[in-house]
Structure 1
Amino acid sequence: MKKLYGVIGDPIGHSMSPAMHNDAFETLGINAYYHPFHIKREDLAAAVAGMKAIGVSGFNVTVPHKTAIMPLLDEVDPLAQAIGAVNTVIRSDNRYIGYNTDGEGFIRGLNEEYGKSVLDKHILIIGAGGAARAIYYTLGQQGAKRVDIANRTAEKASQLKERCPYAVETELLALIEAEEKLGDYDIIIQTTSIGMSPGVDKMPLRLANIRPDAFLSDIIYNPAQTALMKEAGLRGARVQNGLRMFAYQGALAFEKWTGVLPDPDRMEKIVQDKLGGKTC
């Protein structure tokens, strides 16, 4: 009998996870199927109970349920608890345990593209939302030395720093301050939605002071090359979009369910193909 996995969210029709995971199950010869479940906010508790009742072996969680699902689980991993969001649930002894693979997925992809560990580099994170929190806390958990945060709202950035359970040296900057100090950073991580359609020509900050040997990672992957990435590339910096992060967070979830890490290159190509083959 096939094991059942899935993803819950609202909306869910746009999700590329089923294509990635079902291909991985088939390629690796695992007798399992991954299904998208459209779950409304008001139906979340009933859905989790129902999934446990019918024996769903694990599932991903996307908007708007990443935080709301936490009290409905039997256990939440300490990192996911600190981040305040769960994107992966595994079933163990009839218990549902929540994890967050977003930060780890991002760092795996970043290290791979950068060519070595980034933990000893001077890093700037732009933004202070959920993605920034996952990346910042995971960097802290792994031992990053210096990670600064630039955000439009100072209070939100301050909360991000104060609530981090890991020791990270961090300076909080206004965006205009970050623009002036951009030459201090080896790695710049853009975590906001600025640059997505329909505002594809917008950038969260100016790059006049970026170093030509810097590395800029934008977690957006559609469009495959944001205005910020284009500008950074013109100034000599290396760039990366968010597709590798998406592939790796899915691969890490798959590994938690099955004990097998699927090929992130293959997962990335599947998403590229679904996006029309566009890459950066």
Structure 2
Amino acid sequence: MKTYGLIGFPLSHSFSKKYFTEKFQNEGITDRQYELFPIENIKSLADLLAENQSLCGLNVTIPHKVGVLPFLNEIEEAAEKIGAVNCICIKRFEDETYLKGFNTDAYGFEESLKPLLTAKHKKALVFGDGGAAKAVKYVLQKLGIEYQVVVRKATAGAILYNQVTPELLERHKLLINTTPLGMSPHINTFPEIDYTQLGSDHLVYDLVYNPLETAFLSKAAERGAQVKNGLEMLYKQAEKAWAIWNK
């Protein structure tokens, strides 16, 4: 039995476990299982691998996407540039365990965003600058889309929410939320911008997928903007992880 799993802390709910368990059932895959491994300290990774010899692959979530980097033997180029890993392929050779890190968030985001882009989407506002934003910024650079990061607390290279002027919203037709704002149970929270400045030329993308329509997307849709949640990104990054594990 080959085992895959998710490391992070806390792991109150998991899309990955539900997704892969259903995938194995639906596709008649009987020699695979997916488990949750809530580890608070990333230093516990070595013990986890030693105690679970059937582990062949891991997904990585908050707060370990950056902290796991020193524990890897190899990191793919994209993940290295992003500075965050959310997928690990595990190979075992006699007494050695070899870990290679990947970032499938970037792949999932890019593949779900590209079909929606038009010539109008040359500049983006990225709300938040945490781990999820790293993958988003990497993809925007790859696609040649200029971006401005917007945060709540002053930091180098970013602006504050109260600095998002009507002129800025007019110039930036792509808006991306990488923060947990709007995520259940805090469904009434959203990036504090002037939504009356949005229109049909705007594409508004929220990495949050629970609920499927966040307050951010709802407010943008009311102004005629095209909206997209993070569910397709999640499915695409999961399938990418599966392909990596089965190379």
- Whether TM exceeds 0.5 here: the answer is yes
Number of matched pairs? 240
Residue 131 of structure 1 pairs with residue 132 of structure 2: yes
* Cα distance in 2 between the residues matched to 1:149 and 1:38: 31
Q: Which amino acid aligns with 1:149?
A: V
User: What 5-or-longer segments of structure 2 have no aligned partner?
Assistant: none
* Alignment check: 8 A CA contact 2:65 2:131 kept: no
TM-score, structure 2 normalization: 0.85
Q: Which amino acid aligns with 2:126?
A: I
**CA positional deviation for 1:194:** 1.9
Task: Tell me which protein shows more strand as a share of its residues.
Answer: 2
Report 1:80-91 matches (<5 A): 80-91=79-90
Residue 176 of structure 1 pairs with residue 175 of structure 2: no
**CA positional deviation for 1:237:** 0.6
* Cα distance in 2 between the residues matched to 1:228 and 1:105: 21
* Cα distance in 1 between the residues matched to 2:120 and 2:201: 17
Percent same amino acid among aligned pairs?
Answer: 33
After superposition, the Cα gap between the structure-2 partners of 1:24 and 1:198, relative to the gap in structure 1 and judged at 3 Å, is closer
**CA positional deviation for 1:236:** 0.5
Equivalent in the alignment of 1:103: 106
Further displaced range: 103-112 or 39-48: 39-48
* Alignment check: 8 A CA contact 1:5 1:33 kept: yes
Equivalent in the alignment of 1:251: 239
**CA positional deviation for 1:74:** 1.0
Residue 202 of structure 1 pairs with residue 201 of structure 2: no
* Cα distance in 2 between the residues matched to 1:120 and 1:218: 16
Equivalent in the alignment of 2:173: 186
Q: Which amino acid aligns with 1:247?
A: Y
Name the SS for the 1:193 alignment partner. Answer: coil
Q: Which amino acid aligns with 1:34?
A: Y
* Alignment check: 8 A CA contact 1:179 1:207 kept: no
User: What 5-or-longer segments of structure 1 have no aligned partner?
Assistant: 159-171, 260-280
Report 1:225-264 matches (<5 A): 225-259=213-247
* Cα distance in 2 between the residues matched to 1:35 and 1:226: 29
* Cα distance in 1 between the residues matched to 2:146 and 2:17: 37
* Cα distance in 2 between the residues matched to 1:202 and 1:145: 27
Which string of whole-angstrom CA distances, capped at 9 and with x for unpartnered residues, describes residues 134-170 of structure 1? 1102322x232322222223315x2xxxxxxxxxxxx
* Alignment check: 8 A CA contact 1:224 1:241 kept: yes
Further displaced range: 127-136 or 62-71: 62-71
Which string of whole-angstrom CA distances, capped at 9 and with x for unpartnered residues, describes residues 11-35 of structure 1? 2241121121122234444432212
After superposition, the Cα gap between the structure-2 partners of 1:97 and 1:145, relative to the gap in structure 1 and judged at 3 Å, is same
